[in-house]
């Protein structure tokens, strides 16, 4: 069959980002798997020995190579993927530099067996440090198998540079996961030291992510789609509170190529913002599809960094899409009842959370059951709702699809937090004058802290005067809080602010959080029907009714379905 591979012309060669691609066994695996994908394989098997140092072998059922191509593919700048300058402007294959096989072959012993469909015999090529040693005809299936042995056997300095087998294997598995995640329709297998460690059958995107990201079964990530301008974005992200302690499970793919991009990372993290509990990193998998003319992959030899034409646009788009997904009602966790027998196959004996489509939350409230005709002045949910308070801590209210349970403290915290954040944009909030101003003597440390907070506190609605000698007088407080214990409240806010200052750099936000936490209704405060109704109304008027400023859930859903299941209906 005709040859397709050619050596790139000089001019084009010079325009290609130069640099080494073979750093470690993982790089070998990456380049070989990418070649298999470019060759249209639907099944790819990777086998490694000794973390890939002794062997990295990739076997595919792709289009294979003719003998002529098999002989030339390991030359520098030999590629079938681009041929003209213009091709560089719109790369649609994973490879294009024609360097990988040459680089890998030059630092290993390589054996390649390849065959095109409809041909009688396969070509087998044996190379030693890049030199062809033997060419044979053999029997094989259509496709290509490349075995790379004894990596860096002829460059001891680089071999010494390799990390422990555990680390090298970790890199290699990461490469495998990235590629398998981007190509869910492809059969991917991984054998480590003769043991099959991954066997991924063709599947949908979400299922593939589920098999590759620790502890993420189907549906535990929020998914969303967004198309705007030149980009289509599909994303899977963890709910606040369900992320990880490390950044390991963060993936961004551009036209199915894994990339690292600071601006995208920033867009995602800043969209989570304060929703994220401390020390938590979100799990996210983003797939971007863009016209290849909108970005340049020819900037980094390993093509892990790309240059976008309009990075700002992309940042804003991703930030908005992630933010929208996180504020949607789909983030409300479902309560699945703890089981004590019954139907063990359904209930695994622990509380798990599941996504629900929750768009109806504010509208589908039941008619009053026990509210005794109390007419709430509010609108929306309270207008026709029944409320129960459980242990002076949780508020229960029926909705069309079941029951929701609200944590009264975090609900009020969210309301106050948003109110003071809004006060920053407008001009403060209403305050109420105290009948008896309260004098508070502070420690020098607390006094200085208070002075730092004062401008923000004043905007929130506190009237506080400095009386000298570490004494202040509270003359007024924000209108919406219960009066009577202003002194304790102020001290609590100062303490909380001191705790928060370590992690929140923005003074205003730290003051807002401290205030919201300490001024909110407490767990243990009894509430009457009117107070519950008003709390609900205010909660659903916030931008983020589902999570508190620290990322804890405010609402949990108990679906009717779940109850029906439990009662065997």
Q: Write out the two tokens for 373.
A: 């005709």
* Selected binder of Mg ion within 51, 100, 325, 511 (CB under 5 A): 100
For ligand ADP, the closer CB: 72 or 511: 72
For ligand ADP, the closer CB: 131 or 324: 131
Is residue 35 close enough to count as binding ligand ADP by CB under 6 A? Answer: yes
- Could you tell me the smallest distance in angstroms from the CB atom of residue 520 to Mg ion? 58
For ligand ADP, the closer CB: 63 or 486: 63
Span near ligand ADP by CB under 6 A; candidates 9-17, 63-71, 266-274, 368-376: 63-71
Cβ-proximal residue to ligand ADP, closest one? 95
57 interface partner picked from Mg ion, ligand ADP, none, CB below 5 to 8 A per type: none
Is residue 36 close enough to count as binding ligand ADP by CB under 6 A? Answer: yes
Q: Phi first, then psi: what are they for 174, rounded to 5°?
A: -60, -45
- Contact set for Mg ion, span 7-36 (CB under 5 A): 35
Strand partners, 223: 236
Is residue 39 close enough to count as binding ligand ADP by CB under 6 A? Answer: yes
Span near ligand ADP by CB under 6 A; candidates 57-65, 366-374, 424-432, 502-510: 57-65
Phi/psi class of residue 380: alpha, beta or left (left: φ > 0; alpha: ψ in -120 to 50)? left
**DSSP, residue by residue, 428-474:** ---EEEEEEEEEEE--HHHHHHHHHHHHHHHHHT-EEEE-STTEEEE
For ligand ADP, the closer CB: 101 or 267: 101
Cβ atoms of residues 294 and 310 within 8 Å: yes
Q: From CA 307, how far away is CA 286, in angstroms rounded?
A: 17
**DSSP, residue by residue, 19-44:** ----SSHHHHHHHHHHHHHHTT-SEE
Span near ligand ADP by CB under 6 A; candidates 92-100, 224-232, 332-340, 348-356: 92-100
For ligand ADP, the closer CB: 97 or 257: 97
If DSSP codes are grouped into helix, strand and coil, which group holds residue 395? strand
Q: Mask of contacts with Mg ion, 60-99, x by CB under 5 A?
A: -----------------------------------x----
DSSP 380: G
Sheet holding 143-149, edge to edge: 131-138, 122-128, 109-115, 143-149, 55-60, 43-49, 187-192, 195-200
Q: From CA 25, how far away is CA 52, in angstroms rounded?
A: 5
* Largest interatomic CA distance in the chain: 99
Is residue 65 close enough to count as binding ligand ADP by CB under 6 A? Answer: yes
Cβ atoms of residues 336 and 561 within 8 Å: no
* Selected binder of ligand ADP within 27, 57, 66, 79 (CB under 6 A): 79
Q: Mask of contacts with ligand ADP, 222-261, x by CB under 6 A?
A: ----------------------------------------
- Could you tell me the smallest distance in angstroms from the CB atom of residue 31 to ligand ADP? 6
Is residue 533 close enough to count as binding ligand ADP by CB under 6 A? Answer: no
CA dist 322 → 263, 314, 374 (Å): 14, 12, 40
- Contact set for ligand ADP, span 127-166 (CB under 6 A): 144
Q: Mask of contacts with ligand ADP, 484-523, x by CB under 6 A?
A: ----------------------------------------
Strand partners, 556: 405
Helix or strand (DSSP H, E) at 10: helix 10-14
Is residue 97 close enough to count as binding ligand ADP by CB under 6 A? Answer: yes
Q: Mask of contacts with Mg ion, 167-186, x by CB under 5 A?
A: --------------------
* Selected binder of ligand ADP within 27, 28, 45, 81 (CB under 6 A): 81
164 exposed, middle or buried (CB, 10 Å; 0-12, 13-18, 19+)? exposed
- Could you tell me the smallest distance in angstroms from the CB atom of residue 117 to ligand ADP? 12
- Could you tell me the smallest distance in angstroms from the CB atom of residue 39 to Mg ion? 10
* Selected binder of ligand ADP within 44, 51, 71, 78 (CB under 6 A): 78
Is residue 446 close enough to count as binding ligand ADP by CB under 6 A? Answer: no
Q: Which of 535, 418, 437 is nearest to 477 (CA)?
A: 437
Cβ neighbours of residue 29 under 8 Å, at least 6 residues apart?
Answer: 46, 48, 52, 56, 58, 172, 175, 176
Beta strands 295-296; 307-308: pairing state: antiparallel
Strand partners, 458: none
For ligand ADP, the closer CB: 62 or 398: 62
Cβ atoms of residues 569 and 414 within 8 Å: no
Looking at the chain, how many residues does it have?
569
Q: Which of 500, 471, 501, 498 is nearest to 487 (CA)?
A: 471
* Selected binder of ligand ADP within 26, 73, 200, 474 (CB under 6 A): 73
If DSSP codes are grouped into helix, strand and coil, which group holds residue 193? coil
Torsion sign, CA atoms 401, 406, 410, 415: positive
- Could you tell me the smallest distance in angstroms from the CB atom of residue 65 to Mg ion? 12
Span near ligand ADP by CB under 6 A; candidates 33-41, 367-375, 487-495, 516-524: 33-41
For Mg ion, the closer CB: 95 or 355: 95
Q: How many residues bind ligand ADP (CB under 6 A)?
A: 24
* Selected binder of ligand ADP within 46, 96, 224, 412 (CB under 6 A): 96
Which residues would be at the binding site for Mg ion (CB under 5 A)? 35, 95, 100
Which residues would be at the binding site for ligand ADP (CB under 6 A)? 5, 31, 35-36, 39, 60, 62-65, 73, 78-81, 95-102, 144
């Amino acid at each position: 069959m005709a040859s397709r591979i050619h050596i790139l012309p000089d001019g084009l060669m010079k325009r290609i980002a130069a640099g080494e691609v073979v750093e470690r066994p993982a790089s070998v695996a990456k380049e070989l798997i990418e070649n298999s994908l470019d060759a249209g394989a639907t099944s790819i098997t990777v086998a490694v020995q000794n973390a890939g140092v002794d062997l990295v072998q990739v076997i595919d059922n792709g289009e294979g190579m003719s003998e002529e191509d098999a002989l030339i593919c390991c030359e520098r700048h030999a590629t079938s993927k681009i041929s003209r300058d213009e091709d560089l402007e719109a790369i649609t294959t994973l490879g294009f530099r024609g360097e990988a096989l040459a680089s890998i072959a030059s630092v290993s012993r390589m054996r390649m067996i390849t065959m095109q469909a409809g041909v009688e015999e396969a070509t087998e090529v044996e190379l030693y440090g890049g030199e062809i040693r033997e060419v044979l005809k053999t029997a094989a299936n259509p496709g290509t198998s490349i075995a790379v042995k004894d990596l860096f056997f002829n460059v001891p300095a680089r071999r010494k540079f390799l990390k422990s087998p555990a680390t090298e294997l970790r890199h290699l598995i990461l490469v495998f996961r990235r590629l398998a995640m981007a190509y869910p329709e492809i059969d991917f297998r991984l054998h480590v030291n003769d043991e099959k460690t991954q066997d991924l059958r063709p599947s949908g995107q979400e299922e593939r992510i589920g098999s590759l990201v620790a502890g993420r079964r189907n549906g535990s990530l929020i998914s969303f789609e967004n198309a705007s301008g030149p980009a289509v974005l599909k994303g899977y992200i963890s709910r606040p509170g369900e992320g990880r302690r490390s950044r390991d499970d963060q993936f961004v793919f551009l036209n199915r190529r894994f990339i690292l991009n600071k601006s995208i990372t920033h867009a995602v993290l800043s969209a989570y913002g304060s929703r994220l509990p401390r020390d938590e990193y979100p799990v996210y998998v983003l797939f971007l599809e863009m016209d290849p003319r909108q970005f340049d992959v020819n900037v980094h030899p390993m093509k892990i960094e790309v240059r976008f034409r309009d990075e700002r646009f992309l940042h804003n788009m991703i930030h908005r899409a992630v933010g929208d997904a996180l504020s949607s009602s789909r983030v409300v966790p479902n309560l699945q009842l703890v089981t004590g027998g019954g139907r063990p196959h359904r209930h695994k004996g622990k509380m798990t959370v599941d996504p629900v489509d929750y768009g109806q939350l504010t509208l589908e409230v039941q008619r009053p059951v026990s509210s005794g005709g109390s007419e709430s002045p509010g609108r929306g949910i309270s207008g026709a709702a029944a409320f129960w308070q459980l242990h002076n801590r949780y508020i229960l209210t029926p909705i069309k699809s079941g029951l929701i349970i609200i944590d009264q403290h975090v609900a009020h915290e969210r309301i106050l937090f948003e109110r003071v954040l809004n006060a920053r944009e407008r001009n403060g909030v209403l305050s109420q004058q105290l009948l008896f101003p309260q004098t508070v003597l502070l420690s020098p440390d607390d006094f200085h802290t208070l002075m730092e907070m004062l401008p923000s506190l004043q905007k929130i609605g506190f009237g506080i005067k400095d009386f000298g000698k570490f004494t202040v007088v509270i003359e007024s407080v924000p209108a919406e809080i219960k009066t009577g214990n202003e002194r304790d409240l102020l001290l609590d806010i100062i303490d909380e602010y001191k705790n928060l200052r370590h992690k929140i750099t923005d003074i205003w936000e730290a003051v807002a959080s401290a205030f919201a936490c300490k001024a909110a209704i407490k767990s243990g405060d009894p509430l009457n029907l009117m107070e519950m109704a008003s709390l609900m109304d205010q909660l659903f008027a916030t931008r983020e009714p589902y999570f508190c400023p620290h990322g804890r859930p405010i609402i949990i859903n108990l679906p009717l379905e779940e109850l029906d299941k439990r009662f065997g209906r």
